[in-house]
Amino acid sequence: MGALPNPTSNLQKVEKWHECRIDSTHWLAYSPYIEIPTTGKVKNTVCELLGMSANTPTDLCFSFTGLTRRGGETGPHKDGWGVAFYEGKGVRMFHDPEPCATSPIADFVAKLPIKSKNAICHIRQANVGNINLANTHPFTRELWGQYWVFAHNGQLPSFTGSTGIYEAVGDTDSEALFCDIMNNVRQNLSRDATPEQLTETLVSLSQSYAQQGVFNCLLSNGEWMFTFCSTKLASITRRAPFGPACLSDVEVEIDFAAETTPKDVVSIIATEPLTNDEQWDIYERGEWKLWQDGEIIASGMVDVPDHKKEAEMTSPDPALHIEKC
């Protein structure tokens, strides 16, 4: 999401978090740790996704720094965050139910150049499920000797998945969806299923979920990354000749030419563009892509309905553990 207007004016500090939703596009918030606008126009009121697919181990510091500003500073996504980095067959994961804009763990990760070919990050604005560590994305499960990692943006409040060996630990619709995907893949495909067969299953499941509500997702097994857009997703592929880029949410600029080699290919997938001086590809509704080594190896489009406005569909549940004013 973009920055709130006039980020340097109308600021104040108070003693504890409060949140008031004025209407579907306005919010009022206070924080004990950071100064943020007391009022502002919100362009996106759901969770946000960030994924990376690269042909060489690459750090996510630049994009991660931009995304975390939206977690309580330039945006309202303050209900937890998480990130998963594939390193060989292992996955290095960090989760925190606190706002990532003020999280010491997020600050540590932003400065740590963890090299990965596939990474998935999520910042949360809760709408289904309480605000706690168990409900922070991304979620992970093992299948066929690989860790599968999943993050979701959207809402399917009445979703009921199929039964199987995979069960949700928390109480979000997102984790229930992930378990449903894993149960379906395990029950209907074999370990030696072709990428085409796997993709067909993932697309079919994604389309069925998008019929029921907002379903934007990132899913990876460490070899590839599957992305599906129900309402909003964008991507950019950086390759030689590399140039500079500037983040939209914080004054940070990088010269990729000084950080890469001519053979590097790095693709970033995000809910909304993270830079203001590059050309991003905006997904269409119902568009899906399969990424590997920074390249799109398969893509397509399916029909999905146009649900009621995202802001209306994903307003936080009043029963959530958020202190209201």
C-alpha to C-alpha distance for 255 and 324, rounded to whole angstroms: 43
Q: Which residues are known catalytic residues?
A: 47
Query: Tens digits of per-residue pLDDT, 238-248?
Result: 999 999 999 98
The predicted model gives 250-262 an average pLDDT of 89
pLDDT of residue 147 exceeding 50 = yes
Which CATH number do you get for residue 296? 3.60.20.10
Number of domains in the chain: 1
C-alpha to C-alpha distance for 12 and 27, rounded to whole angstroms: 15
Residue with more model confidence, 12 or 208: 208
C-alpha to C-alpha distance for 26 and 30, rounded to whole angstroms: 14
C-alpha to C-alpha distance for 72 and 143, rounded to whole angstroms: 35
On whether the CB atoms of residues 54 and 264 are closer than 8 A, the answer is: yes
On whether the CB atoms of residues 54 and 294 are closer than 8 A, the answer is: yes
Q: What percent of the chain has pLDDT over 90?
A: 58
Residue 310, pLDDT score: 53
111 within some domain: yes
C-alpha to C-alpha distance for 104 and 92, rounded to whole angstroms: 17
- Weakest mean pLDDT among 60-74, 81-95, 102-116, 153-167: 60-74
- Weakest mean pLDDT among 5-9, 96-100, 157-161, 305-309: 5-9
Packed helices 195-212 and 173-188: angle between N→C axes, nearest 10 degrees: 140
pLDDT of residue 15 exceeding 70 = no
Strand partners, 236: 268
38 within some domain: no
Residue 70, pLDDT score: 83
pLDDT of residue 318 exceeding 60 = no
Query: Tens digits of per-residue pLDDT, 31-59?
Result: 333 333 333 333 445 789 999 999 999 99
125 within some domain: yes
- For 108, the token pair is 């540590």
17 within some domain: no
Between the ranges 28-32, 34-38, 288-292, where is the mean pLDDT highest?
Answer: 288-292
Structural domain of residue 162, as residue ranges? 48-301
Q: What are phi and psi of 232, to 5 degrees?
A: -155, 125
Among the residues of the chain, which ranges form H helices? 61-69, 104-110, 173-188, 195-212, 310-313
Secondary structure of residue 67 in the 3-state scheme: helix
Task: Indicate the average pLDDT of the chain.
Answer: 81
152 within some domain: yes
C-alpha to C-alpha distance for 33 and 30, rounded to whole angstroms: 9
313 within some domain: no
How would residue 79 be classed by pLDDT, with cut points 50, 70 and 90? Answer: confident
The predicted model gives 250-267 an average pLDDT of 91
